[in-house]
Amino acid sequence: MLVFLMLAILLVSAAGCAPKAEAPQAEKVVYLINGALGDKSFYDSGKEGIDQIAAEYGVETRTIECNFDAGQYEPSLQAAVNYADVIFVISYGYEDQLKEYADKYPDKIFVNLDTVVQNEKNTITSVDFIEEESAYLTGVVAALTTLDTSIPNVNADKIIGAVGGDVDPVIQAFVFAYTNGAQSIDPDIKVETKYLGSWDDTAKGKQAALQLYDMKADVVFQIAAAAGIGVLQAAGERGLYAIGVDTNQNDIVPGHVVASDIKNVGQAIIDVFKTIKDGTYQPGQVLEYGLATGGVDVDFTAQQQVLPQGTIDQVNAIRQQIIDGTLVVERYTGE
């Protein structure tokens, strides 16, 4: 009996000394992007999040820019895994290579931003922004702008525009919801769209916007990263209007950017990294970021407000309906 009692005490003592589950190693972080910083939009938003986790947690960070060069994708992935414990990646154009590297290096944490990428070992976590919700609101903004001829230089034609960097599922989702939002206000509104085949050619963005203004569009939604800065410049030149994307771009051309469609890449990075550090991170998840979570939004904040307060209030009322679930925005399926 004494032997059994001593054995029980030993077992309890051993259990009490068992090591606790620890958060994965996360002292070095890479932000790996297919494009380049300096777009004042999508990529820069992510960099803001990277800078914040560096400041808050004291981790080492590096940004690897591929500059849309397909030849840089695989070497950049290799450089990332050689250096980092955690890799936040925007993988447009090299999704298959990302899957291969995630399977080959299962000890690395891969977080894919803006699209869903799933590898065989199910270790990639994807952040999927519900851009349809904010783009729907952006369409509402554009519709209310083109219908309000009291706004300087707005004509009587019910035409709005959009400039996309390229034809891909995310941009198509933006245009789809933008159109639906505009036509929810007035079914007769026509949406004219131009695609640049570039994410960084500002001159192309400007030329496309000028063409849309020539087609009687009053307001043009830029969905083209750095190339879209040209859209904002064209709005200023013509005395017309544009809508920014991903970050608040309303003050880039004051008085001519009526609102910005926000995609909060930086906040998603901060949120996911917090779970990595506190031990609650789970690999292989698809994390959806919509209006209700603050992942996407529409922002009117500006030095020089263009739209009447009544218009902003109307948009905000529809925004609240989406958050409350009383208005369900249709998702783009590619069909």
Q: pLDDT tens for residues 91-139?
A: 999 999 999 999 999 999 999 999 999 999 999 999 999 999 999 999 9
Buried b or exposed e, range 167-204, using 16+ CB within 10 angstroms: eeebbbbbbbbbbbbbbbbeeebbbebbbbebbbbbeb
Q: Do the domains spanning 28-129+266-289 and 131-263+305-324 agree at the CATH topology level?
A: yes
- Residue 246, both tokens: 């991903």
Note whether 109 and 90 are within 8 A (CB).
no
- The second-level CATH assignment, the architecture, of 28-129+266-289 is 3-Layer(aba) Sandwich (3.40)
Q: Which residues pair with 124 in a beta bridge?
A: 110
- The second-level CATH assignment, the architecture, of 131-263+305-324 is 3-Layer(aba) Sandwich (3.40)
DSSP per residue, 292-317: TTTSEEEE---SS--S-HHHHHHHHH
DSSP structural state of residue 132: H
d(CA 29, CA 272): 12
Q: Which residues pair with 86 in a beta bridge?
A: 29, 109
d(CA 280, CA 282): 6
Map residue 75 onto helix, strand or coil.
helix
Q: pLDDT tens for residues 273-318?
A: 999 999 999 999 999 999 999 999 999 999 999 999 999 999 999 9
List the chain domain ranges. Answer: 28-129+266-289, 131-263+305-324
Q: pLDDT tens for residues 157-211?
A: 999 999 999 999 999 999 999 999 999 999 999 999 999 999 999 999 999 999 9
